[in-house]
Amino acid sequence: MAIESEVLVIGGGLAGLSSALAAAREGADVRLLSYKQSTLRNASGLVDILGYTHDGDGPLTDPYEAIPELPSSHPYRTVGVDGVREAMAMFDDVTDYRGDHTDTNALLPTHGGTVKPTARYPRGAAAGLASDDRDVLLVGLGSMVDFDAPHVAAHLEAAGVPFEARGVSIEFPGDLRADAKVTRYAKLLDTNGEVAVGGRMVGARDALADAIEPHLDGEARVGLPAILGDDHPDAVRAALGDALSVDVFEVPMGPPSLPGLRLEDALFEAVDEAGGNFETGNPVVDYAAEDGHIEEVYIEKNGARIPVSGDQYVLATGGLVGKGVESDREGVYEPIFDCHVPHAEDRYDWFDLDVFGDHPFARFGLPTDEQLRPLTATDSVEFDNLRAAGGILGGYDFAAEKSGSGVSIATGHAAGTNAAQEAR
Protein backbone atom coordinates (compact mmCIF):
# COMPACT_ATOMS: atom_id res chain seq x y z
CA MET A 1 0.00 0.00 0.00
CA ALA A 2 0.94 3.62 -0.16
CA ILE A 3 0.14 6.64 1.95
CA GLU A 4 -2.77 8.07 -0.04
CA SER A 5 -4.19 11.50 -0.80
CA GLU A 6 -6.28 13.07 -3.53
CA VAL A 7 -3.80 15.79 -4.42
CA LEU A 8 -0.09 15.31 -3.81
CA VAL A 9 2.07 18.42 -4.02
CA ILE A 10 5.85 17.99 -4.31
CA GLY A 11 7.74 21.10 -3.17
CA GLY A 12 7.39 23.37 -0.15
CA GLY A 13 8.09 26.84 -1.53
CA LEU A 14 5.64 29.54 -2.50
CA ALA A 15 4.29 27.59 -5.50
CA GLY A 16 3.88 24.33 -3.57
CA LEU A 17 2.21 26.07 -0.64
CA SER A 18 -0.12 27.99 -2.98
CA SER A 19 -1.03 24.74 -4.78
CA ALA A 20 -1.71 22.89 -1.55
CA LEU A 21 -3.73 25.78 -0.17
CA ALA A 22 -5.84 26.15 -3.32
CA ALA A 23 -6.49 22.42 -3.51
CA ALA A 24 -7.39 22.18 0.17
CA ARG A 25 -9.75 25.11 -0.20
CA GLU A 26 -11.45 23.24 -3.03
CA GLY A 27 -12.13 20.51 -0.49
CA ALA A 28 -9.54 18.01 -1.68
CA ASP A 29 -7.53 15.78 0.65
CA VAL A 30 -4.07 17.28 0.13
CA ARG A 31 -0.55 16.30 1.09
CA LEU A 32 2.51 18.47 0.55
CA LEU A 33 5.95 16.86 0.50
CA SER A 34 9.01 19.03 0.90
CA TYR A 35 12.56 17.68 0.83
CA LYS A 36 13.78 20.28 3.28
CA GLN A 37 12.21 23.14 5.10
CA SER A 38 10.64 25.70 2.84
CA THR A 39 13.09 27.85 0.90
CA LEU A 40 10.87 30.84 1.69
CA ARG A 41 13.31 31.63 4.49
CA ASN A 42 15.74 32.57 1.74
CA ALA A 43 13.22 34.95 0.15
CA SER A 44 13.00 38.66 0.88
CA GLY A 45 9.35 38.39 1.84
CA LEU A 46 8.36 40.94 -0.82
CA VAL A 47 5.80 39.56 -3.27
CA ASP A 48 6.11 40.85 -6.80
CA ILE A 49 3.85 40.19 -9.79
CA LEU A 50 5.69 41.89 -12.63
CA GLY A 51 8.17 44.74 -12.31
CA TYR A 52 9.63 44.90 -15.82
CA THR A 53 8.50 43.76 -19.24
CA HIS A 54 9.98 40.88 -21.13
CA ASP A 55 12.16 43.42 -22.97
CA GLY A 56 13.36 45.04 -19.76
CA ASP A 57 11.14 48.13 -19.81
CA GLY A 58 10.05 49.46 -16.47
CA PRO A 59 9.59 49.71 -13.61
CA LEU A 60 5.98 49.00 -14.52
CA THR A 61 3.18 50.91 -12.87
CA ASP A 62 0.45 48.33 -13.44
CA PRO A 63 1.57 44.70 -13.76
CA TYR A 64 -1.89 43.46 -14.79
CA GLU A 65 -1.92 45.77 -17.78
CA ALA A 66 1.36 44.31 -19.04
CA ILE A 67 0.44 40.63 -18.73
CA PRO A 68 -1.45 40.34 -22.06
CA GLU A 69 1.63 41.76 -23.82
CA LEU A 70 3.91 38.96 -22.58
CA PRO A 71 5.00 36.24 -25.03
CA SER A 72 2.54 33.34 -25.25
CA SER A 73 5.06 30.95 -23.65
CA HIS A 74 4.99 32.95 -20.39
CA PRO A 75 3.24 31.17 -17.48
CA TYR A 76 1.12 34.30 -16.86
CA ARG A 77 -0.35 33.87 -20.33
CA THR A 78 -1.31 30.29 -19.42
CA VAL A 79 -3.24 31.28 -16.29
CA GLY A 80 -4.43 34.65 -17.65
CA VAL A 81 -4.98 37.96 -15.88
CA ASP A 82 -8.05 36.64 -14.08
CA GLY A 83 -6.08 33.64 -12.87
CA VAL A 84 -3.47 35.98 -11.39
CA ARG A 85 -6.16 38.07 -9.70
CA GLU A 86 -7.86 35.03 -8.15
CA ALA A 87 -4.55 33.74 -6.87
CA MET A 88 -3.62 37.09 -5.32
CA ALA A 89 -7.04 37.22 -3.65
CA MET A 90 -6.26 33.88 -2.00
CA PHE A 91 -2.85 35.18 -0.92
CA ASP A 92 -4.40 38.35 0.54
CA ASP A 93 -6.93 36.27 2.37
CA VAL A 94 -4.36 34.28 4.34
CA THR A 95 -1.65 36.91 4.96
CA ASP A 96 -1.62 40.37 6.47
CA TYR A 97 0.35 41.81 3.56
CA ARG A 98 -0.22 45.34 2.25
CA GLY A 99 -0.65 46.57 -1.30
CA ASP A 100 -3.95 44.86 -2.06
CA HIS A 101 -5.80 48.18 -2.23
CA THR A 102 -4.46 48.91 -5.72
CA ASP A 103 -3.29 47.27 -8.95
CA THR A 104 -0.34 49.65 -8.99
CA ASN A 105 3.14 48.46 -8.00
CA ALA A 106 4.62 49.84 -4.82
CA LEU A 107 8.27 50.91 -4.71
CA LEU A 108 10.26 49.49 -1.81
CA PRO A 109 13.86 50.19 -0.80
CA THR A 110 16.10 47.12 -0.77
CA HIS A 111 19.07 46.42 1.48
CA GLY A 112 21.33 47.23 -1.43
CA GLY A 113 19.87 50.72 -1.71
CA THR A 114 17.95 50.10 -4.91
CA VAL A 115 14.23 50.60 -5.33
CA LYS A 116 12.16 47.56 -6.25
CA PRO A 117 8.69 47.51 -7.80
CA THR A 118 6.53 45.02 -5.92
CA ALA A 119 2.84 44.15 -5.68
CA ARG A 120 2.61 43.16 -2.00
CA TYR A 121 4.78 43.88 0.99
CA PRO A 122 4.78 42.90 4.65
CA ARG A 123 3.24 45.35 7.13
CA GLY A 124 6.67 45.80 8.63
CA ALA A 125 7.95 47.32 5.40
CA ALA A 126 4.97 49.63 4.91
CA ALA A 127 6.45 52.77 6.47
CA GLY A 128 9.46 52.44 4.18
CA LEU A 129 7.72 53.06 0.85
CA ALA A 130 9.97 54.98 -1.52
CA SER A 131 7.00 56.99 -2.78
CA ASP A 132 6.52 58.46 0.71
CA ASP A 133 8.24 61.87 0.91
CA ARG A 134 9.04 61.83 4.62
CA ASP A 135 12.73 61.82 5.45
CA VAL A 136 14.32 58.56 6.52
CA LEU A 137 16.97 57.57 9.03
CA LEU A 138 18.41 54.15 8.23
CA VAL A 139 20.02 52.38 11.17
CA GLY A 140 22.49 49.59 10.48
CA LEU A 141 24.04 47.24 13.00
CA GLY A 142 27.81 47.03 13.01
CA SER A 143 27.75 43.27 13.11
CA MET A 144 25.33 42.93 10.18
CA VAL A 145 27.59 43.67 7.25
CA ASP A 146 24.83 42.97 4.70
CA PHE A 147 23.24 46.28 5.57
CA ASP A 148 25.64 49.22 5.45
CA ALA A 149 23.19 51.99 6.31
CA PRO A 150 25.19 55.05 5.15
CA HIS A 151 25.91 53.28 1.87
CA VAL A 152 22.26 52.27 1.41
CA ALA A 153 21.11 55.82 2.15
CA ALA A 154 23.49 57.27 -0.43
CA HIS A 155 22.34 54.74 -2.99
CA LEU A 156 18.69 55.55 -2.38
CA GLU A 157 19.29 59.25 -2.84
CA ALA A 158 21.20 58.53 -6.03
CA ALA A 159 18.19 56.51 -7.21
CA GLY A 160 16.18 59.72 -6.96
CA VAL A 161 13.85 59.03 -4.03
CA PRO A 162 11.64 62.03 -3.05
CA PHE A 163 13.07 62.32 0.48
CA GLU A 164 16.32 62.75 2.30
CA ALA A 165 17.91 59.53 3.51
CA ARG A 166 20.62 59.36 6.13
CA GLY A 167 22.36 56.25 7.41
CA VAL A 168 24.07 55.55 10.71
CA SER A 169 25.60 52.43 12.13
CA ILE A 170 25.17 51.41 15.77
CA GLU A 171 25.87 48.31 17.82
CA PHE A 172 22.98 46.14 18.94
CA PRO A 173 22.83 46.67 22.71
CA GLY A 174 24.04 43.92 25.03
CA ASP A 175 27.41 43.08 23.56
CA LEU A 176 26.17 40.01 21.68
CA ARG A 177 28.65 37.86 19.80
CA ALA A 178 29.77 39.47 16.54
CA ASP A 179 28.05 36.85 14.40
CA ALA A 180 24.84 36.54 16.41
CA LYS A 181 22.09 34.92 14.34
CA VAL A 182 19.16 36.96 13.08
CA THR A 183 16.96 34.72 15.19
CA ARG A 184 18.90 35.76 18.29
CA TYR A 185 18.07 39.44 17.73
CA ALA A 186 14.49 38.54 16.87
CA LYS A 187 14.03 36.40 19.97
CA LEU A 188 15.45 39.11 22.25
CA LEU A 189 13.08 41.67 20.74
CA ASP A 190 10.10 39.30 20.71
CA THR A 191 10.45 38.60 24.41
CA ASN A 192 11.93 42.01 25.30
CA GLY A 193 14.67 39.90 26.90
CA GLU A 194 17.15 41.69 29.10
CA VAL A 195 20.53 42.82 27.81
CA ALA A 196 23.38 44.40 29.77
CA VAL A 197 23.84 48.10 29.06
CA GLY A 198 26.30 50.12 31.13
CA GLY A 199 26.24 47.58 33.93
CA ARG A 200 22.47 47.25 34.29
CA MET A 201 19.90 44.99 32.68
CA VAL A 202 17.48 46.62 30.26
CA GLY A 203 14.75 45.18 28.01
CA ALA A 204 16.09 44.76 24.48
CA ARG A 205 13.36 46.91 22.91
CA ASP A 206 14.07 49.85 25.24
CA ALA A 207 17.80 49.43 24.90
CA LEU A 208 17.59 49.46 21.11
CA ALA A 209 15.38 52.58 21.13
CA ASP A 210 17.86 54.27 23.50
CA ALA A 211 20.71 53.43 21.15
CA ILE A 212 18.92 54.92 18.13
CA GLU A 213 17.54 58.02 19.82
CA PRO A 214 20.72 60.21 19.82
CA HIS A 215 21.05 59.74 16.05
CA LEU A 216 17.58 61.03 15.19
CA ASP A 217 17.52 64.44 13.62
CA GLY A 218 13.89 65.17 12.97
CA GLU A 219 13.29 62.23 10.61
CA ALA A 220 9.73 60.95 10.68
CA ARG A 221 10.63 57.34 9.98
CA VAL A 222 13.41 54.95 10.88
CA GLY A 223 14.41 51.86 8.91
CA LEU A 224 16.27 48.85 10.33
CA PRO A 225 17.36 45.57 8.80
CA ALA A 226 14.60 42.97 9.08
CA ILE A 227 15.39 41.53 12.51
CA LEU A 228 12.51 43.06 14.46
CA GLY A 229 10.94 39.94 15.95
CA ASP A 230 9.79 36.61 14.61
CA ASP A 231 6.55 35.89 16.48
CA HIS A 232 5.57 39.45 17.44
CA PRO A 233 6.99 41.84 14.84
CA ASP A 234 4.08 44.29 15.09
CA ALA A 235 4.60 44.70 18.82
CA VAL A 236 8.35 45.18 18.41
CA ARG A 237 7.91 47.90 15.77
CA ALA A 238 5.20 49.60 17.79
CA ALA A 239 7.38 49.65 20.92
CA LEU A 240 10.32 51.17 19.06
CA GLY A 241 8.07 53.64 17.25
CA ASP A 242 6.41 54.79 20.48
CA ALA A 243 9.73 55.23 22.24
CA LEU A 244 11.16 57.30 19.38
CA SER A 245 7.94 58.99 18.18
CA VAL A 246 8.59 57.87 14.61
CA ASP A 247 7.28 55.21 12.21
CA VAL A 248 9.58 52.21 12.21
CA PHE A 249 10.03 49.92 9.21
CA GLU A 250 12.12 46.94 8.23
CA VAL A 251 14.24 46.71 5.11
CA PRO A 252 14.01 43.17 3.69
CA MET A 253 17.35 41.37 3.82
CA GLY A 254 19.09 38.51 2.05
CA PRO A 255 19.03 34.99 3.45
CA PRO A 256 18.31 33.94 6.09
CA SER A 257 15.33 36.24 6.07
CA LEU A 258 12.86 36.80 8.88
CA PRO A 259 10.13 38.23 6.60
CA GLY A 260 10.51 35.03 4.54
CA LEU A 261 10.23 32.94 7.72
CA ARG A 262 7.12 34.81 8.81
CA LEU A 263 5.52 34.31 5.38
CA GLU A 264 6.40 30.62 5.52
CA ASP A 265 4.71 30.34 8.93
CA ALA A 266 1.58 32.14 7.71
CA LEU A 267 1.22 29.92 4.65
CA PHE A 268 1.82 26.64 6.47
CA GLU A 269 -0.73 27.73 9.04
CA ALA A 270 -3.21 28.47 6.25
CA VAL A 271 -2.64 25.02 4.69
CA ASP A 272 -3.11 23.44 8.11
CA GLU A 273 -6.31 25.40 8.75
CA ALA A 274 -7.67 24.38 5.36
CA GLY A 275 -7.14 20.74 6.40
CA GLY A 276 -4.03 20.07 4.29
CA ASN A 277 -1.28 17.71 5.44
CA PHE A 278 2.43 18.12 4.97
CA GLU A 279 5.76 16.54 5.77
CA THR A 280 9.35 17.62 5.31
CA GLY A 281 12.78 16.09 5.61
CA ASN A 282 13.13 13.59 2.77
CA PRO A 283 13.20 13.81 -1.03
CA VAL A 284 10.86 12.33 -3.60
CA VAL A 285 13.23 10.39 -5.84
CA ASP A 286 11.20 8.20 -8.15
CA TYR A 287 7.75 7.31 -9.43
CA ALA A 288 5.71 4.52 -10.96
CA ALA A 289 3.42 5.18 -13.90
CA GLU A 290 1.25 3.24 -16.27
CA ASP A 291 -0.02 4.47 -19.64
CA GLY A 292 1.01 8.04 -18.95
CA HIS A 293 -0.68 8.05 -15.54
CA ILE A 294 1.34 8.38 -12.33
CA GLU A 295 0.43 5.67 -9.82
CA GLU A 296 2.68 6.61 -6.92
CA VAL A 297 5.92 8.36 -6.02
CA TYR A 298 8.67 7.27 -3.63
CA ILE A 299 10.19 9.18 -0.76
CA GLU A 300 13.73 8.13 0.07
CA LYS A 301 14.58 7.86 3.77
CA ASN A 302 18.05 6.50 4.43
CA GLY A 303 17.68 3.68 1.95
CA ALA A 304 13.99 3.01 2.60
CA ARG A 305 11.55 3.89 -0.19
CA ILE A 306 8.24 5.11 1.18
CA PRO A 307 5.39 4.89 -1.37
CA VAL A 308 3.04 7.88 -1.44
CA SER A 309 0.20 8.22 -3.88
CA GLY A 310 -2.30 10.78 -5.10
CA ASP A 311 -4.99 10.93 -7.74
CA GLN A 312 -3.42 14.13 -9.01
CA TYR A 313 0.12 15.48 -8.65
CA VAL A 314 1.58 18.98 -8.62
CA LEU A 315 5.32 19.37 -9.23
CA ALA A 316 6.62 22.54 -7.59
CA THR A 317 10.25 21.75 -6.89
CA GLY A 318 11.74 25.03 -8.15
CA GLY A 319 14.07 25.98 -10.96
CA LEU A 320 17.81 25.71 -11.47
CA VAL A 321 18.56 27.16 -8.03
CA GLY A 322 15.86 25.18 -6.24
CA LYS A 323 17.11 21.96 -7.93
CA GLY A 324 13.74 21.26 -9.56
CA VAL A 325 15.66 21.60 -12.83
CA GLU A 326 19.19 20.20 -12.99
CA SER A 327 21.93 20.47 -15.54
CA ASP A 328 25.26 18.90 -16.31
CA ARG A 329 27.56 19.12 -19.28
CA GLU A 330 25.35 16.83 -21.30
CA GLY A 331 22.02 18.50 -20.87
CA VAL A 332 19.27 20.03 -18.77
CA TYR A 333 16.73 17.76 -17.10
CA GLU A 334 13.99 17.45 -14.51
CA PRO A 335 15.19 14.87 -11.96
CA ILE A 336 12.02 13.22 -10.59
CA PHE A 337 9.77 12.49 -13.59
CA ASP A 338 12.32 13.29 -16.30
CA CYS A 339 9.92 15.76 -17.91
CA HIS A 340 11.15 17.40 -21.08
CA VAL A 341 13.17 20.61 -20.62
CA PRO A 342 13.78 22.36 -23.96
CA HIS A 343 17.37 23.57 -24.38
CA ALA A 344 19.96 23.97 -27.08
CA GLU A 345 22.12 20.96 -27.78
CA ASP A 346 25.34 22.94 -27.59
CA ARG A 347 25.81 24.14 -24.04
CA TYR A 348 27.62 27.23 -25.27
CA ASP A 349 24.23 28.38 -26.49
CA TRP A 350 22.73 28.24 -23.01
CA PHE A 351 24.10 31.66 -22.02
CA ASP A 352 24.91 35.08 -23.37
CA LEU A 353 28.44 36.45 -23.26
CA ASP A 354 27.18 39.70 -21.76
CA VAL A 355 26.80 39.30 -17.98
CA PHE A 356 23.50 41.18 -17.95
CA GLY A 357 22.54 39.88 -21.36
CA ASP A 358 19.55 37.82 -22.36
CA HIS A 359 20.51 34.41 -20.98
CA PRO A 360 18.54 31.44 -22.33
CA PHE A 361 19.24 29.46 -19.12
CA ALA A 362 17.16 31.97 -17.18
CA ARG A 363 14.09 30.70 -19.05
CA PHE A 364 14.89 26.99 -18.77
CA GLY A 365 12.00 24.98 -17.43
CA LEU A 366 8.99 22.91 -18.36
CA PRO A 367 6.61 23.88 -21.17
CA THR A 368 2.97 23.06 -20.34
CA ASP A 369 -0.50 22.89 -21.83
CA GLU A 370 -3.26 25.31 -20.76
CA GLN A 371 -3.87 23.18 -17.64
CA LEU A 372 -0.21 23.46 -16.62
CA ARG A 373 0.50 19.84 -17.51
CA PRO A 374 4.12 19.40 -18.66
CA LEU A 375 4.59 18.60 -22.35
CA THR A 376 6.94 16.25 -24.14
CA ALA A 377 9.21 17.30 -26.99
CA THR A 378 6.35 16.50 -29.35
CA ASP A 379 3.81 18.58 -27.40
CA SER A 380 1.80 15.73 -25.91
CA VAL A 381 1.20 15.66 -22.14
CA GLU A 382 3.86 13.83 -20.13
CA PHE A 383 1.33 12.41 -17.63
CA ASP A 384 -2.39 13.07 -17.57
CA ASN A 385 -2.38 13.65 -13.79
CA LEU A 386 0.74 15.81 -13.37
CA ARG A 387 0.77 19.60 -13.26
CA ALA A 388 3.70 21.94 -12.69
CA ALA A 389 3.90 25.28 -10.89
CA GLY A 390 6.40 27.98 -9.97
CA GLY A 391 10.11 28.11 -10.70
CA ILE A 392 10.14 24.80 -12.54
CA LEU A 393 8.13 26.33 -15.37
CA GLY A 394 9.96 27.63 -18.41
CA GLY A 395 9.41 30.67 -20.55
CA TYR A 396 10.04 33.46 -18.07
CA ASP A 397 13.00 35.14 -16.41
CA PHE A 398 11.86 35.90 -12.88
CA ALA A 399 15.02 37.70 -11.87
CA ALA A 400 14.93 40.18 -14.76
CA GLU A 401 11.16 40.64 -14.76
CA LYS A 402 10.69 40.66 -10.96
CA SER A 403 7.91 38.14 -11.32
CA GLY A 404 9.08 35.19 -9.19
CA SER A 405 6.54 35.31 -6.37
CA GLY A 406 3.61 36.22 -8.61
CA VAL A 407 4.24 33.37 -11.04
CA SER A 408 4.58 30.93 -8.13
CA ILE A 409 1.36 32.07 -6.47
CA ALA A 410 -0.61 32.29 -9.73
CA THR A 411 0.49 28.98 -11.26
CA GLY A 412 0.38 27.28 -7.84
CA HIS A 413 -3.18 28.43 -7.34
CA ALA A 414 -4.20 27.33 -10.84
CA ALA A 415 -2.45 23.94 -10.65
CA GLY A 416 -3.85 23.23 -7.18
CA THR A 417 -7.37 24.26 -8.16
CA ASN A 418 -7.32 22.22 -11.39
CA ALA A 419 -5.86 19.20 -9.63
CA ALA A 420 -8.50 19.32 -6.90
CA GLN A 421 -11.35 19.68 -9.39
CA GLU A 422 -10.01 16.76 -11.38
CA ALA A 423 -9.60 14.62 -8.26
CA ARG A 424 -13.05 15.25 -6.84
Q: At what angle do helices 258-273 and 182-191 cross, to 10 degrees?
A: 70
Quick check: 323 binds another protein (CB under 8 A)? yes
Segment near another protein (CB under 8 A), from 52-60, 66-74, 84-92, 303-311? 303-311
Quick check: 293 binds another protein (CB under 8 A)? no
Give the residues across from 106 on adjacent strands: 118
Segment near another protein (CB under 8 A), from 176-184, 221-229, 379-387, 390-398? 176-184
Quick check: 179 binds another protein (CB under 8 A)? yes
Q: What is the DSSP secondary-structure string of 395-407?
A: S--HHHHT-HHHH
Instruction: Pick from 255, 292, 331, 357 the residue near another protein by CB under 8 A.
Output: 255
**Spatial distance between the Cα atoms of 382 and 39, rounded to a whole number of angstroms:** 27
Closest distance to another protein from the beta carbon of 300 (Å): 9
Residues whose CB falls within 8 Å of the CB of residue 266, separated by 6 or more in sequence, listed in order: 94, 95, 96
Which residue's CB is nearer to another protein, number 192 or number 418? 192
Pairing status of strand 221-225 against strand 136-141: parallel
**Spatial distance between the Cα atoms of 274 and 20, rounded to a whole number of angstroms:** 9
Segment near another protein (CB under 8 A), from 39-47, 108-116, 238-246, 359-367? 39-47
Which residue's CB is nearer to another protein, number 181 or number 293? 181
CA atoms within 13 A on the CB side of 320: 17
Which residue's CB is nearer to another protein, number 30 or number 136? 30
Quick check: 36 binds another protein (CB under 8 A)? yes
Q: CA nearest 147: which of 167, 126, 127?
A: 167
Helices (DSSP H) in 67-131: which residue ranges?
75-94
Instruction: Pick from 101, 177, 199, 356 the residue near another protein by CB under 8 A.
Output: 177
**Spatial distance between the Cα atoms of 147 and 137, rounded to a whole number of angstroms:** 13
Quick check: 73 binds another protein (CB under 8 A)? no
Q: Is the previous residue joined to 59 through a cis bond, with omega within 30 degrees of 0?
A: yes
Amino acid at 319: G
Quick check: 301 binds another protein (CB under 8 A)? yes
Quick check: 42 binds another protein (CB under 8 A)? yes
Segment near another protein (CB under 8 A), from 174-182, 236-244, 245-253, 410-418? 174-182
What's CA 157's distance to the chain center, in Å?
27
Which residue's CB is nearer to another protein, number 147 or number 278? 278
Q: Kindly list the residues in this chain that would bind another protein in the complex (CB under 8 A).
A: 1-4, 33, 36-37, 39, 41-42, 174, 176-177, 179-184, 187, 191, 231, 255-256, 261, 272, 277-283, 299, 301-304, 306-307, 323, 329
